[in-house]
Amino acid sequence: MKAQQTGLVVRGHGRHYVVEDDNGERVHCLTRGKKSDCVVGDRVRWQRSSDHEGVIEKLEPRRNLLFRQDEWKTKSFAANLDRLLVLVAAEPQFSESQLTRALIAADSAGITTDILLNKTDLPQAEAARQRLAPYKAMGQQVLELSLKGKPDEARETLMPLLEGRSTLVLGPSGTGKSTLINLLVPDARAQVGEISQALNSGRHTTTTTQWYWMDAERQTALIDSPGFQEFGLRQIPAPELASHMADFKPYLGECRFHNCSHRHEPGCSVLVAVEAGKISPSRYRIYDELWQELSSPPRY
Ligand SMILES: Nc1nc2c(ncn2[C@@H]2O[C@H](COP(=O)(O)OP(=O)(O)O)[C@@H](O)[C@H]2O)c(=O)[nH]1
Ligand SMILES: [Mg+2]
Ligand SMILES: [Zn+2]
């Protein structure tokens, strides 16, 4: 009988996982039965079943889980995160709705987000900066850099933020995620190869979440996740939405009705704040759209 060990899930797909043991060795593991509820970042207890394979016996309790929930599917990004880094760029133009959704999902999971505006070397940077102004104004950290134009400066900006933490990188394709990983994880390719080898799949796939160690001591991690089309927030009841939006928070509890939806009620302090320009029209529009989405029954 082989002893149980602790491990970290560094990749998952269906019932197949790659678990890293405490020495950094990566082993292909299966879950028992049909269960496959582990995600990248999970701590597990597992046991060797052969020289090359193991079985996950138990999932340790999670500190947090970042996920999105569409009408039919729940999709996990990763567990036990210290930080979320949302990457946007001067070009292609980012969706403010997607950005807001990521911020809300992270807030409801208790994870702090930093926004990274990349490609500040491009002339479109000014417009992007203006679209991010409401986020800065609500106290959200927004960093600006040019990963390609000024890589050394970018590294200096990012390192204090990342050091000793596990950070998930999210962002639409074309914003510079791969550039970021390659800048900060010099042996990224080798790490991908090692994980593919453990799975015996040979090929690198960008359709799964990938865990990267930035240092030999395995203290600082970047987690790269595949792109997505929709960012559903069905896990959040519509009446809770505003409490996850930093620019709405100061006005909550001041409305005439305690169950105010902040959409049409008289004596609504949020609507007063919108009128006064204290909440940006775009943020309010996104709130309104989300409210409708979350309070409508699923489409059949
Ligand atoms: N102008 C400019 N281009 C950049 C910068 N960072 C990345 N890019 C380019 O943007 C494109 C997409 O980058 P990539 O890292 O593949 O984005 P990903 O799809 O998010 O992984 C590539 O052609 C990069 O060379 C930057 O700071 N400035
Ligand atoms: Mg990429
Ligand atoms: Zn209200």
Distance 153 CA to ligand 2 centre (A): 21
Look up the pTM and report it: 0.94
Q: Is residue 218 part of a domain?
A: yes
71 and 214 share one domain: yes
The ligand that comes nearest to the alpha carbon of residue 122 is: 1
Q: Is residue 300 part of a domain?
A: no
Pocket perturbation via mutation, ligand 1, pick of 91, 98, 148 by most ligand atoms within 8 A of CB = 148
| CA-172 nearest atom, ligand 1 | 20
Q: Is residue 115 part of a domain?
A: yes
| CA-122 nearest atom, ligand 1 | 1
Q: Is residue 42 part of a domain?
A: yes
130 and 196 share one domain: yes
Q: What mean pLDDT value characterizes the chain? A: 93
CA separation, residue 284 to residues 62, 263, 278 (Å): 33, 9, 10
CA separation, residue 1 to residues 28, 43, 47, 128, 233 (Å): 19, 22, 9, 59, 44
Pairing of strands 166-170, 221-224: parallel
Q: What residues have a C-beta under 5 A from ligand 3, the ion?
A: 255, 260, 262, 268, 270
Segment among 15-19, 20-24, 146-150, 225-229 with least mean pLDDT? 225-229
The ligand that comes nearest to the alpha carbon of residue 88 is: 1
40 and 124 share one domain: no
Banded model confidence at residue 300, pLDDT cuts 50, 70, 90: low
Last residue of a domain, one of 206, 230, 254: 230
What is the reported pLDDT for 203?
Answer: 53
Distance 84 CA to ligand 2 centre (A): 17
Q: How is residue 205 written in tokens?
A: 């796939």
User: Residue 38 belongs to what domain range?
Assistant: 5-59
226 and 177 share one domain: yes
30 and 84 share one domain: no
CATH number at residue 170: 3.40.50.300
Give the largest Cα separation in the chain, rounded: 69
187 and 55 share one domain: no
Last residue of a domain, one of 230, 264, 284: 230
The ligand that comes nearest to the alpha carbon of residue 241 is: 3
Distance 217 CA to ligand 1 centre (A): 29
222 and 256 share one domain: no
pLDDT digits (tens, 9 = 90+) for 60-118: 999 999 999 998 889 999 999 999 999 999 999 999 999 999 999 999 999 999 999 99
Q: Ligand 1: which residues within 6 Å by Cβ?
A: 118-119, 121-122, 146-149, 171, 173-179
45 and 102 share one domain: no
162 and 268 share one domain: no
205 pLDDT more than 80: no
